[in-house]
């Protein structure tokens, strides 16, 4: 080395993206691993809430569903959902062919984004299985998993989350309902993941009918008792843990660190409120402190906050989580009255609270936050809900988008 070469000349010249993109990719992968960990939670929750004779079927279903979903999402699920096509379906990147290095404008490595979204798809079809425990043959499990992971979730999900989905672009000139003035928003999937899963579950439990020997309260019976509440409760808490990948990870950006913190805090508070409210409401009804209602209560709060988590305040999160705690207990009682057998409460938790969470954005969005971004948040066009003086515009967009997805899902699932 000659003494006249300055050390700074030898330093690599790094641009912002050289640092930002790897950090955002790492954050997305970390979130993907957390969301994938929810499979452990679902497996334990369903195995604990079912009867002992149904356990092995639940275990097999959860594991094989995951394996099947991965291959389907590789082959065409991701293409249908997240590639460009038209307002109804994506038409590129089948078998991940022709994919760019990074996904759209996120700067996140394409395959890291794929993994994150596979974990979401896996969650959706696992939600479904819980309502059909005890009367679905193994071949039946495979068939509906194939349909949910391969077609229902990715195609209907494209409407809201695809780069050109008709609900995502709704309210803008030349698109669906241009006079509405705002699109449909679902930050992490109260509608896209939970309502779709919940309403496939509802269709399944209606078509299958109740388990043999299941007598409803109207007929002098009651719910079949879960065989292992220790496993069920532990599974519920693991789901809560995994939700910290589900919601904060949906920023797909570690640079929006304020947004991540807000989402994580809101997620926590909604779960806490949901669990306590459900516990008290169930106690008023039955004069018992009910473990299963308490677990489903905090899960209901988590489902509800999944859509609005980026745009609401901590106080709003507590209120909407508490409302979810009431809805889940009322929903379980409604299904009991209608003689619909849903062993783990998938329909009230994911279906009904998914609807409430999606609508709640139109009520509780504070008008401070806009969109997340790869370098920082973009709050130039914040979302404002009814309770913060934003009128009913956002609420209408949420109700319309949610209703279209729920009805389409239920009709297709019934067929």
**Span 133-142, mean pLDDT?**
89
Q: Which residues, other chains included, contact 338 with Cβ-Cβ below 8 Å and sequence gap of 6+?
A: none
Predicted local confidence at residue 157, as pLDDT:
97
- Pairwise CA distance, residues 22 & 18, whole Å: 7
Residue 5 has pLDDT above 90, yes or no: no
User: What is the pTM assigned to this prediction?
Assistant: 0.95
Phi first, then psi, for residue 194 (nearest 5°) are: -80, -45
Write the pLDDT tens digit of every residue in 284-320. Answer: 999 999 999 999 999 999 999 999 999 999 999 999 9
- Closest C-alpha among 379, 161, 361 to residue 256: 379
- Whole-angstrom distance, CA of residue 285 vs CA of residue 162: 43
| Gyration radius from the chain CA atoms | 22
Q: What is the pLDDT of residues 58-113, one digit of tens each?
A: 999 999 999 999 999 999 999 999 999 999 999 999 999 999 999 999 999 999 99
Confidence of residue 56 (pLDDT cuts 50, 70, 90): very high
Where residue 13 falls among pLDDT bands split at 50, 70, 90?
confident
- Neighbouring-strand partners of residue 102: 109
pLDDT band at 15 (very low <50, low <70, confident <90, very high): confident
The model's confidence at residue 17, banded by pLDDT at 50, 70 and 90, is confident
For 407, residues 6+ apart whose C-beta sits below 8 A from its C-beta are none
Instruction: Indicate the average pLDDT of the chain.
Output: 94
CA 410 distance to own-chain centroid? 17
**pLDDT above 90 as % of the chain:** 91
């Amino acid at each position: 080395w000659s003494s006249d070469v300055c050390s700074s000349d030898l330093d690599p010249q790094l641009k912002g993206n050289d640092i930002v993109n790897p950090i955002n990719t790492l954050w997305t992968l970390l979130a993907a691993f957390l969301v994938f960990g929810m499979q452990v939670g679902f497996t334990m929750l369903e195995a604990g809430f079912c009867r002992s004779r149904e356990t092995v079927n639940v275990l097999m279903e959860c594991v094989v569903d995951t394996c099947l979903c991965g291959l389907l999402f590789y082959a065409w699920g991701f293409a249908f959902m997240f590639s460009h096509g038209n307002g109804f379906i994506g038409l590129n990147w089948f078998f991940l062919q022709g994919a760019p290095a990074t996904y759209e404008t996120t700067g996140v490595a394409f395959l890291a984004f794929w993994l994150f979204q596979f974990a979401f798809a896996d969650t959706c079809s696992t939600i479904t299985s819980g309502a059909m425990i005890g009367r679905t043959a193994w071949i039946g499990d495979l068939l509906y998993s194939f349909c949910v992971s391969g077609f229902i979730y990715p195609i209907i999900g494209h409407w809201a989350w695809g780069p050109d989905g008709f609900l995502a672009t709704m309210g803008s000139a030349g698109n669906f309902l241009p006079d509405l003035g705002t699109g449909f928003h679902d930050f992490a999937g109260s509608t896209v993941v939970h309502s779709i899963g919940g309403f496939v579950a509802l269709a399944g439990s209606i078509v299958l009918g109740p388990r043999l020997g299941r007598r409803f309260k109207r007929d002098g019976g009651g719910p079949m008792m879960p065989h292992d509440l220790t496993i069920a409760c532990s599974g519920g808490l693991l789901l809560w843990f995994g939700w910290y990948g589900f919601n904060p990870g949906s920023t797909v950006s570690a640079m929006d660190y304020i947004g991540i913190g807000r989402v994580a805090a809101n997620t926590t508070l909604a779960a806490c409120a949901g669990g306590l409210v459900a516990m008290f409401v169930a106690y008023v009804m039955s004069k018992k402190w009910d473990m299963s209602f308490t677990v489903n209560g905090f899960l209901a709060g988590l489902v509800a906050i999944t859509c609005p988590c980026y745009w609401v305040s901590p106080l709003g999160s507590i209120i909407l989580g508490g409302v979810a705690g009431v809805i889940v207990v009322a929903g379980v009682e409604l299904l009991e009255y209608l003689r619909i057998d849903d062993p783990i409460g998938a329909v009230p938790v994911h279906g009904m609270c998914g609807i409430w969470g999606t609508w709640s954005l139109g009520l509780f969005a504070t008008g401070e936050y806009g969109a997340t971004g790869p370098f920082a948040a973009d709050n130039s066009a914040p979302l404002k809900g009814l309770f913060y003086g934003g009128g009913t515009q956002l609420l209408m967009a949420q109700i319309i988008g949610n209703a279209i997805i729920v009805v389409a899902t239920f009709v297709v699932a019934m067929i």
